[in-house]
A and B are shown apart, each in its own frame.
Chain A
């Protein structure tokens, strides 16, 4: 009875207070609304930016925690690596070489496999020559074949589904099928840049494996006929094609195999891969293994944090203006309400209850405002995804970041407490005898 009587009285008194000052309450809400919306926008923006950046990095580097093992080249290396990962669901091996697809005996549009937009900026094709002492130099090819309908790309052979570590987006067709026998006609999945080249230039499906630079693109190199089965986005600017490692190996010469450096991508749980591989490689190569754990989140964290704090600073300023507005209105209102509050105390209302009501009025205003701002943020984000999702894929299908909602509610709460506390303290200090002197 006692408590509920207090609570009900508080509701009635607070309700009367808010109703008596509807317009003013509304106006003070506007500035706070903008402040909270700014906090939400910053928070949502940074979460989205983080997410977009991380998604891109994940495609290139791998998900956080993924372990990347660099295996040096050597005669025993390919067999050892393939043996180690065979049948394992938690590790794959990867090797890459370059290849030229298109009309034979032409210099590719993009010598060196550079992104297409830089295709015309390279110099003339060169031949890398290395002396037995290991000094390499490049010299222009004496009579380079004419440039034409061919592109050079990076050909990546993989032994299993790399997407568990690097979440590529399939954009057309199918992904590689690792079941069944390897085909003599290698199945390729192109990345965006490579797919672009295929659509821009009508390329005959003939492939030379090996780079124009390395000189291995000579007459002796194999000429398989590849089949393009799909396209993906792998976040890579360089034209790239993915192929089953066994289909690639069919076409690699023994010497190319030996000079091939390989990579193993595995989950952190695949602890036996390291020792097994070392045993198979022998001490000399085994000691040159290089292990790296992907920690993109941590590395990009620093860059994003600075931006985020700058924006938080700005949002905090806006919020501060909102709080100042509420505080201003709150204090001005107390000035006007001195008599009402003194009178209410004279008729027996406990001063803590009155202070609580004054605080609760502002707090409620703050929370309602925050709620309105959060709803606006959610609707705004959905609208942004709906209207601009085509142009900015990072806006597509983004759930409203809950952190932003929490930030908004906290901001409203803080504003309500800051804006209501001083008026509440003032309300508690009003001498009752005011009603006799006025």
Chain B
């Protein structure tokens, strides 16, 4: 019997806190979140509106840093890394999908996807860039729309361009914040299909959603309430 090398989890949050310091009283949003996500795992996060789901995702995606607690990525503490390194990690480890698609309207679908490759982190020659972009567009099933600008794409198509943009750098994990929020049920299901297909290729997925049906297609479901994460339905790992 051979020893299986113990890989550190991809993402490990322990006791993560975030307090909002706007005008007036500081308001705790996250008050000790624990979350472990292993490579290739898919997790759904449920929660009331305003419970702090987006805030949590922005900490995981290194848009922002936690006030307290620890964030390990591949076992390394990145709770307080400088912005320069955070930018590199965002580029290497994460892909982002948002409720609104955020495509640049003066660029074609291809150029919008290529945007993630033209980010000052390394450089690919034009032809390689093009090949990667086309692969990503094929993965989301809209390679035939590569030359179209966003104005000529439907909502579902636009969101798939956004997913291709998130996938083009082959991230370890996709962070999706209500990706179906602006779409009708049918189109939403299609988008979840596309995300699901990505997890089948080994990419992790953290999905924030209000839709139980979508959540139930993930490996594990957790709920954010009162600043804490509680398991809703256990997955195979926990």
Seen from chain A, the residues whose Cβ lies within 8 Å of a Cβ on chain B are 1-2, 4-6, 8-10, 12-13, 16, 19-20, 339-340, 343-353, 431-433, 435-438
Residues from chain B with a CB closer than 8 A to the CB of A350 are 83-84, 87, 120-121
Stretch at the interface among B101-109, B140-148, B153-161, B222-230: B101-109
Q: Does B96 contact A (CB under 8 A)?
A: yes
Q: Which of A4, A16, A346, A349 contacts B61 (CB 8 A)?
A: A346
Residues from chain A with a CB closer than 8 A to the CB of B83 are 350-351
Residues from chain B with a CB closer than 8 A to the CB of A20 are 104, 106
Q: Interface residues of B toward A: which range?
A: 20 to 34
The answer to whether A348 touches B121, judged by C-beta atoms less than 8 angstroms apart, is: yes
0/1 interface trace, chain B 35-69, chain A, CB 8 Å (1 if under) = 00000000000000000001101100101100000
Kindly state the separation between the CA atoms of A349 and B122 in the bound complex, as whole angstroms: 10
Q: Does B92 contact A (CB under 8 A)?
A: yes
Kindly state the separation between the CA atoms of A139 and B88 in the bound complex, as whole angstroms: 101
The A interface is mostly helix, strand or loop, or mixed, namely: helix
Nearest B residue to A428 via CB reads: B83
The answer to whether B123 touches A1, judged by C-beta atoms less than 8 angstroms apart, is: yes
Residues from chain B with a CB closer than 8 A to the CB of A349 are 87, 91, 119-121
With A347-B165, A432-B63 given, name 16 new contacts (CB 8 A): A5-B120, A5-B121, A9-B120, A10-B120, A13-B118, A344-B115, A345-B87, A346-B61, A346-B96, A347-B96, A348-B121, A350-B120, A432-B64, A433-B54, A433-B63, A436-B58
In angstroms, how far is the closest chain B Cβ from the Cβ of A117? 70
Q: Which of B57, B111, B121, B123 contacts A436 (CB 8 A)?
A: B57
Nearest B residue to A11 via CB reads: B118
In angstroms, how far is the closest chain B Cβ from the Cβ of A200? 74
Residues from chain B with a CB closer than 8 A to the CB of A438 are 100, 102
Kindly state the separation between the CA atoms of A124 and B88 in the bound complex, as whole angstroms: 98
Nearest A residue to B55 via CB reads: A433
Q: Does B90 contact A (CB under 8 A)?
A: yes
Residues from chain B with a CB closer than 8 A to the CB of A353 are 120
The answer to whether A19 touches B106, judged by C-beta atoms less than 8 angstroms apart, is: yes
Most buried by A among B63, B99, B165: B63
Q: Which of A9, A339, A432 contacts B123 (CB 8 A)?
A: A9
Most buried by A among B64, B102, B118: B118
In angstroms, how far is the closest chain A Cβ from the Cβ of B163? 13
Q: Does B170 contact A (CB under 8 A)?
A: no
